[in-house]
Amino acid sequence: MASQKGDPAAASFAVARKGAEPSGGTTWGPMGKRLQHELMTLMTSGDKGISAFPESDNFSNVGAIHGAAGIVYEDLRYKLSLEFPSGHPYNEPTAKFLTPCYHPNVNTQGNICLDLKDKWSALCDVRTILLSIQSLLGEHNIDSSLNKRAAELWKNPTAFKKYLQETYWINSKDVGAPGQ
């Protein structure tokens, strides 16, 4: 993972940390301050392969996940959208892949079958969301596959990896590199 000195996520967050307000003159308020704190915690956590930065003044963040070593997603980078509702942290955010992700628990629109709603608590944060999604890349939930074709192909690891690699390099060019 790139050092935070050259990390655009760190640069974007540094502006927000210095007290900058979102465009349009609105103030961050308690929810915005909570999200700023969550992003700072993420940046200083030392967790490998995850990052996030604020996208706009409507409490959206762009996250990035790198596939962990030893899984078929190793060295692949994915950009995600994280949308926080007005009731955050008591209401769960929505997460969606922006970079196309071929996975049994991700549909073709980037929606993720990750049970945030039933397992959500105010103690969860941006870091735990990204770690959960990163973990999902390594193993899928067979009981709730959104992409049946990917679920079937998952049974043949060699064929799955070949198809994943082919589609990743074709489709990820349309979205751009995560974190840029």
Catalytic positions, written as ranges: 113
N residues, the chain: 180
Give the DSSP letter string of 57-95. Answer: TTSEEEEEEEBPTTSTTBT-EEEEEEE--TTTTTS--EE
Instruction: List CB contacts of 180: < 8 A, sequence separation 6 or more.
Output: 8
What distance, in Å, lies between the first and last C-alpha atoms of the chain?
13
Residue 55 near residue 62 (C-beta atoms within 8 A) = yes
